[in-house]
Amino acid sequence: MNLDQLLRKEIQDAVTALFGQQVDGLQLQPTNQEFEGTHTLVCFPLVKMSRKSPEETAKAVGTWLVENGTQVERFNAVKGFLNLVLRDRVWLSEFESIFSNRHFGELPPNGQEIMIEYSSPNTNKPLHLGHLRNNFLGYSVAALYEAIGYKVNRVQIINDRGIHICKSMAAWKLYGKGETPESSGIKGDHLVGKYYVLFDKTFKAEKAQLMDGGADEKQAERDAPIMQLAVDMLRKWEQKDPETVELWRMMNSWVYAGFNATYKRMGVVFEKLYYESDTYLLGKEEVLKGVESGTFFRKEDGSVWVDLTSDGLDQKVLLRADGTSVYMTQDIGTAILRFHDFPRIEGQIYTVGNEQEYHFKVLFLILKKLGFEWANRCFHLSYGMVDLPTGKMKSREGTVVDADDLMKEMVHDAEVVTREAGKIEGWDESELKVLFEMIGMGALKFFLLKVDPKKRMLFDPNESIALQGFTAPFIQYTHARIRSIIRTAEKLNIVPTAADLAKVKVLQPSERDTLGVLCQYENRLHEGAREYSPAVVANFAYDLAKEYNKFYQNVPIFKEQDPDPVQLRFRIALSHVVADTLRKAMGILGILVPDKM
């Protein structure tokens, strides 16, 4: 049994002894920081069996635990909340177990398999700030599931076809004059994105001109020459017109080269790539089968729809009147193909912004109506958008914060902050380059992951790079400080053993507080996976670094005269485990921690 399980058992024993009943689902939670203790029992559910007030019930349980149990040293009751202070020996026993387990926080395979989709960009523009949150979130949730024993398949669907892709193609055909990444010196995804923005500017001008001539807005949008060219290209592409397909392949190849460079710097990987140009045909087949079975229906213009009004939704188009596909079509095909390719997966998680919540509600319902039982095991990991001080990003207007530019800026800022701190004497430039990359990318990832995914957030580069506060550089610096302590201990030949830990009798408050956070690591991993929230791990890493820093300030490790060798070895052992755990926790966020800084 782990610590929480042992404590729950003793609380059950207390309830049985005091009130003569068993209770299901004890509500045990972390203690609020303003009160003493690490575990809090919510006693309101016990009132009916105790026939006492909530506070009297809490005091009765607390007294029994102190007098009869082995875990609790003292308690404080605040209304119906029983805050428990555990005995030093309990923490030390737990730490002995952790210290002896070099794989602490790395749970063994549980035989389960899951798929997580993230990134999934369009091939008509470079990745931007929103994609960074998406990629870091999906990658980190995948790492969380791996940490608790799952086999994880990281995938993405590349949206490489459709009218949005043809818009860039149309603008390049009209204005490109043969421009390539090589001839222009522009990264491939940026070059294609340039023509996507040019399409929008041209389209708006043509639309305005048509409206000035008397056309209504819808007619002007339809009749704008550059839009007609894009629509014609989409039609030709689906008819496999050689010239159109060749242009499509060429421009997509530019984008893929650009994406790969961006992903490499992000530090994200994928086990398998799916392409909309492959999966939309399977989706069309399923839609047509649905028409035959009566699940879907055709309108007079030939378009295919599904009626979800009886489910509280609306009607949704699945095939246009001209037979071309929509996003929903390819998503149907992709979902089916994935369960065919990976038949052992428990389910699949789609990491997509919350503006697509309705889309996925419809998708999962359609799959269920088509008879796929696994539709109930699909989950939309919905996350809030990233705002800027200047407002919302718009790709077609060229107002996004480009991912490549932002990563470059963050690494530059890391260099500025680190050089200003003045602690890099003796470093050569190659070492510094690695350090600046580690700090800059760590700051960016941590800032985007420390907020609960469901929340909308404002990105602040200056706040993210700070060496103090709730930031990655603070945690990275703490790890580097600990590694320095460990190097000093190694020079002094101080090598802690499990036998040393068994001799420790009393803990300092800051040691107890550090252990209180450390011992929750595996619980936080499970909580983070359950909530699909790397923010749980980010908060854990910060809390652990913060408590260790308090310990470091309050308890001298090498500065004591005639130090107790047992206490010294314990503190070095604690430092070892905290450093390893910070490295593992930050690794789940995709963040590296330096050994010196």
β 315-319/304-307 pair status: antiparallel
CATH number of 403-588: 1.10.730.10
- Among 575, 538, 444, 516, residue whose Cα is nearest residue 84: 516
Q: How far is CA 282 from the centre of its chain?
A: 30
CATH number of 3-86: 3.30.1360.70
β 72-78/81-86 pair status: antiparallel
**Long-range contact pairs involving 227-231 (C-beta distance under 8 Å, separation at least 24):** 227/203, 229/170, 229/173, 229/174, 230/163, 230/166, 230/167, 230/169, 230/170, 230/199, 231/163, 231/166
d(CA 316, CA 304): 9
The pLDDT tens digits along the chain (597 residues) read 788 899 999 999 999 999 999 888 899 999 998 999 999 999 999 999 999 999 999 999 999 999 999 999 999 999 999 999 999 999 999 999 999 998 999 899 999 999 999 999 999 999 999 999 999 999 999 999 999 999 999 999 999 998 999 999 999 999 999 999 999 999 999 999 999 999 999 999 999 999 999 999 999 999 999 999 999 999 999 899 999 999 999 999 999 999 999 999 999 999 999 999 988 889 999 999 999 999 999 999 999 999 999 999 999 999 999 887 888 998 999 999 999 999 999 999 999 999 999 999 999 999 999 999 999 999 999 999 988 766 444 444 445 789 999 999 999 999 999 998 888 888 999 999 999 999 999 999 999 999 999 999 988 888 899 889 999 999 999 999 999 999 999 999 999 998 889 899 999 999 999 999 999 999 999 999 999 999 999 999 999 999 999 999 999 888 766 678 899 999 999 999 999 999 999 999 999 999 998
- Among 429, 551, 416, residue whose Cα is nearest residue 473: 416
> Is the Cβ–Cβ distance between 364 and 375 less than 8 Å?
yes
- Give the residues across from 307 on adjacent strands: 315
Give per-residue pLDDT as tens, 198-248: 999 999 999 999 999 999 999 999 999 999 999 999 999 989 999 999 999
Query: Domain residue spans in the chain?
Result: 3-86, 161-267, 403-588
Give per-residue pLDDT as tens, 525-559: 999 999 999 999 999 999 999 999 999 999 988 87
pLDDT over 70 percentage in the chain: 97
> Is the Cβ–Cβ distance between 446 and 564 less than 8 Å?
no
Alpha helices, DSSP H, located in 356-425:
357-369, 403-421
